[in-house]
Amino acid sequence: CLSDSDRNAYELKVLQGTMDQIRSRLSPQNQQVFQNSVEIHMQHIQLGLGQTGSLTPFMAPKT
């Protein structure tokens, strides 16, 4: 069983690999559009995944 931080690290690695594959298949003209339309939003998601592991204890509902 992976810890949350290990799972998030794995998800980030897979996500980045997928983004790299997509970008490599695009024409140079479309790479800039991809960066501006997709990658910028994916970076926000990646930041959120990276922060989840360290913030999880503070996000749990109080009982």
Digit-coded pLDDT (tens) for 12-59: 888 889 999 999 999 999 999 999 999 999 888 878 766 655 544 544
Q: Has residue 15 been placed in a domain?
A: no
43 domain residue, yes or no: yes
List of long-range contacts for 38-44, beta carbons under 8 Å, 24+ apart: 42/15
Residue span of the structural domain in which 37 resides: 22-51
Rounded to the nearest 5°, which phi and psi values hold at 39? -60, -35
Q: What is the pTM of this model?
A: 0.61
What total of structural domains would you count in the chain? 1
- Identity of the residue numbered 62: K
Residue 42 lies in a domain: yes
pLDDT of amino acid 59: 46
